[in-house]
């Protein structure tokens, strides 16, 4: 009997299948224009991305890491300031805070939703705290009701890391519209992905938007005039043109992701710990992260069955050699550390068929049963 084809963990080109002719036309349009950096496509994408969120401003940048760094810099956060975030995130979140010159303060997560624990964030506030950076991890909105209240009471900035949650909502309100500023990544595997690096910020504040436009382009106010020290972090025309094609399909693609997640929920109940949605949340399932105490054995068994999995993230940031000096000893973030030992991400992407999801479910069930028999 022939073995069924393996199911890879991800396949970013699946999201392009329905719009390939439009992407081809967009690429051709940019090539023919002769203008490749910060031009009409970027301006149009910024307007469309702002309109999608119902905010006043969007600013395109080179990637999501820069977006977080520039959000902090535009809001005046830097040397001597503390910024509270989680250790259970992509390293980019903490890398960006560090690059802005501020001190990252890492706190624990709520182990049910894998997002920043508001009580832990409040307990970490000191007179030097300037900002909180919640991460809407795996597509799940962080507890923005509690965090907005805490930030307001302590006069702190709230900067949302939306890299994994384009289009997610909490109580009907889109992520990215809760904080003072929000940062997005368009890394190819994201829910809204480019075909290279890309990022953006959104805000309702004109002052932040103006400063972001300067900072992303060497601090330039007009040609060869530099009001302050910026960096080179520009979204290119090709990526913006492709993102313009994909943005109108984001909600439908997120709905498909939710459908696959529901299929996994129903099929895997009682086998693994399945992701819980916060009340009022519409997660966009950037990742489908499940938990099992024998995670490594389960992954090995799935690999044997041709099912690709990954771990997001196997080593919390406070335990990474690069960030040991942040002062969080092993054991200091117990929920983060426990979760990192047990989680694994199942295939969930545009182009994964119902039949493939059924095969993933069957393989997980067979593997868990074999492990526990
Ligand atoms: C939660 C989170 N924050 C920030 C980033 C940084 O985005 P980028 O890779 O575009 O720099 C990523 C993506 O890797 C991410 O997943």
Domain boundaries, the chain: 13-107+115-248, 250-372
Predicted local distance difference test score (pLDDT) of residue 372:
87
Q: 106: CA distance to ligand 1 center in Å?
A: 17
Q: Model pTM?
A: 0.98
| CA 65 to centroid of ligand 1, rounded, Å | 6
> Residue 97 Cα, ligand 1 centroid: separation in angstroms?
13
Q: Which two tokens stand for residue 199?
A: 């990022």
Q: Which residues of the chain have pLDDT under 50?
A: none
**Whole-number Å distance between alpha carbons of 78 and 83:** 9
CATH of 250-372, one of 3.30.420.40, 3.30.420.240, 3.90.550.10, 3.90.1150.10: 3.90.1150.10
Q: What is the pLDDT of residue 1?
A: 58
Angle of the 64-74 helix axis to the 206-215 helix axis, nearest 10: 120
For a ligand 1 pocket test, name from 100, 162, 187, 189 the mutation site with the most ligand atoms within 8 angstroms of its C-beta: 187
Q: Which atom of ligand 1 is nearest to the CA of 199?
A: 10
Handedness of CA 289, 290, 296, 298 (dihedral sign): negative
What would the DSSP string read from start to end of 208-274?
Answer: HHHHHHHHTBTTEEETTEESS---B---BHHHHHHHHHHGGGHHHHHHHHHHHHHHHHHHHTTTSBP
Residue 275 has a pLDDT of 81
Q: What is the pLDDT of residue 122?
A: 98
Distance (Å) from CA 362 to ligand 1 centroid? 32
Q: What is the pLDDT of residue 7?
A: 97
- The Å distance, Cα 60 to ligand 1 centre, comes to 15
What one-character DSSP code corresponds to residue 322? G
| Of 58, 134, 130, 140, the residue nearest 93 (C-alpha) | 134
pLDDT at position 10 is 96
Task: Give the CA angle between residues 226, 241, 9 to the nearest 5°.
Answer: 110
Task: Note the pLDDT of residue 4.
Answer: 86
Cβ neighbors of 52 (< 8 A, separation 6 or more) are: 247, 250
Q: Which two tokens stand for residue 175?
A: 């992520």
DSSP H or E segment with residue 58: strand 57-61
Q: Is 172 exposed, middle or buried (0-12, 13-18, 19+ CB in 10 A)?
A: exposed
pLDDT value of position 27:
98
Token readout for 279 is 């009340």
Rounded to whole angstroms, how far apart are CA atoms 21 and 317? 41
The H-or-E segment that residue 105 falls in is: strand 103-107
In this predicted structure, what is the pLDDT of residue 61?
98
Contact between 188 and 194 (Cβ < 8 Å): yes
Instruction: Reduce the DSSP state of residue 156 to 3 states and report it.
Output: coil
Ligand 1 pocket test target in 91, 98, 163 with most atoms within 8 Å of CB: 163
Atom of ligand 1 minimally distant from the CA of 66: 11
Whether cis (ω within 30° of 0) applies to the bond prior to 313 is yes
Q: Are 110 and 117 in contact (CB under 8 A)?
A: yes
User: Which tokens hold the place of 355?
Assistant: 């039949």
**Tokens 């991890």 found at:** 137
Q: Output the six-digit token pair for 73.
A: 């810099």
The residues facing 116 across adjacent strands are 109
Burial of 320 per CB tally in 10 Å (0-12, 13-18, 19+): middle
CA of 201 to the centre of ligand 1 (A): 13
Taking CB atoms and a 6 Å cutoff, what residues make up the pocket around ligand 1?
A: 63-65, 89-90, 92-93, 135, 161, 163-164, 185, 187, 197, 199
* CB contact at 8 A, 126 and 132: no
> Ligand 1: distance of its center to the CA of 152 in Å?
26
Name 327's Cβ contacts closer than 8 Å, sequence gap at least 6. Answer: none
As a whole number of angstroms, the distance between CA 299 and CA 353 comes to: 21
Q: Which two tokens stand for residue 140?
A: 């799940």
Ligand 1 centre to CA of 243 (Å) is: 17
Do 142 and 114 form a contact (C-beta atoms < 8 A)? no
- With contact defined as beta carbons under 8 Å apart, do 344 and 292 qualify? yes
Atom of ligand 1 nearest to the CA of 187: 10
Q: What is the largest CA-CA distance in the chain?
A: 71
The CATH number given to 13-107+115-248 is: 3.40.640.10
User: In testing the pocket of ligand 1, which one of 92, 162, 188, 313 has its CB within 8 Å of the most ligand atoms?
Assistant: 92
CA distance 244 to 236: 12
């Amino acid at each position: 009997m022939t073995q069924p084809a393996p199911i890879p963990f991800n396949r970013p080109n699946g999201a392009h299948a329905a719009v390939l002719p439009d992407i081809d036309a967009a690429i051709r349009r940019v090539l023919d224009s002769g203008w490749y950096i910060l031009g009409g496509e970027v301006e149009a994408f910024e307007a469309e991305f702002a309109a999608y969120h119902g905010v006043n401003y969007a600013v395109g940048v080179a990637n999501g890491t820069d977006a977080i760094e520039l959000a902090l810099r535009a809001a005046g956060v830097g040397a001597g300031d503390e910024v509270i975030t989680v250790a259970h995130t992509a390293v980019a979140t903490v890398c960006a805070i560090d690059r802005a010159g501020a001190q990252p303060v890492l706190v624990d997560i709520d182990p049910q939703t894998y997002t920043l624990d508001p009580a832990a964030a409040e307990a970490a506030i000191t007179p030097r705290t300037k900002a909180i950076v919640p991460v809407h991890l795996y597509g799940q909105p962080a507890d923005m009701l509690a965090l907005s209240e805490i930030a307001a009471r302590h006069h702190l900035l709230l900067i949302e890391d939306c890299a994994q949650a384009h289009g997610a909502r909490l109580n009907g309100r889109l992520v990215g519209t809760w904080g003072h500023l929000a940062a997005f990544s368009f890394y190819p595997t994201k829910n809204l992905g480019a075909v290279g690096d890309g990022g953006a910020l959104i805000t309702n504040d004109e002052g932040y938007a103006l400063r972001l436009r300067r900072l992303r382009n060497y601090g330039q106010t007009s040609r060869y005039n530099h009001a302050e020290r910026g960096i080179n972090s520009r979204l290119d025309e090709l990526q913006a043109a492709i993102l313009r094609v994909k943005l109108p399909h984001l909600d439908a693609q997120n709905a498909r992701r939710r459908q696959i997640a529901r299929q996994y929920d129903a099929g895997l109940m009682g086998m693994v710990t399945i992701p819980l949605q916060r009340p009022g949340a519409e997660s966009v399932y950037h990742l489908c992260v499940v938990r099992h105490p024998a995670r490594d054995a389960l992954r090995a068994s799935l690999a044997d069955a041709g099912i690709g999995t990954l771990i997001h993230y196997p080593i919390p940031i406070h335990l990474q050699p690069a960030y040991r000096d942040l002062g969080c000893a092993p054991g200091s973030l117990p929920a983060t550390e426990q979760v990192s030992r047990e989680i694994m991400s199942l295939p969930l992407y545009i182009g994964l068929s119902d039949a493939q999801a059924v095969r993933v479910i069957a393989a997980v069930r067979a593997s868990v049963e074999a492990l526990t028999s």
